[in-house]
Amino acid sequence: MQRICLFPGTFDPVTLGHVDIIDRALPLFDKIVVGIGLNTSKAPMFSAEKRQQWIKEIYKNEPKIEGAVYEGLTVDFCRAIGAKFILRGIRYVSDFEFEKTIADANRTMDKSIETVFLTGEPKYTSIASTIVRDIIRNGGDASHFLPDIVSKSLTK
């Protein structure tokens, strides 16, 4: 049986912190689906299609990675794609407290799906999509926080 993992998030935009977590999770799983969740309580800056395209371009040479857009409960999407693992990145202790609450709820809904936490590289802990969006909105240079593919697409 393949070890399929879902890395859910908004990825609005995809940052170096996201890429760090994905890259370090590669040896752990046979397949990682980067799940771009549509959250009705959030108004994204970039379309789901654009975010999915970034994932496709960043990982064009890595067959174990694919991007997908989904709505609804993360555990339902895990079932739909056959994922038994959910990957979450942790930057700070406060992230863990929040993420553990979600992991506990997911475990209550489906005990067969395990959440795996990876801590971010220290050089990426200050990178948050919210901050990056603010930099972009205000005409700043966000390239220090973004993969080249994402950064170059913003300058077009």
Please list the active-site residues: 18, 42, 91, 129
Partner residues linked to 86 by β-bridges: 6, 115
User: For residue 58, what are its two tokens?
Assistant: 């960043």
Measured distance CA(76)–CA(71) in Å, rounded: 9
Do residues 133 and 12 lie in contact, with contact meaning Cβ atoms separated by under 8 Å?
Answer: yes
Q: CA torsion, points 77, 8, 20, 47, in degrees to nearest 10?
A: 110
Q: Which residues contact 99 (CB under 8 A, 6 or more apart)?
A: 88, 90, 115, 117
The edge-to-edge listing of strands for the beta sheet with 114-119 is 65-71, 31-38, 4-9, 85-90, 114-119
Do residues 138 and 19 lie in contact, with contact meaning Cβ atoms separated by under 8 Å?
Answer: no
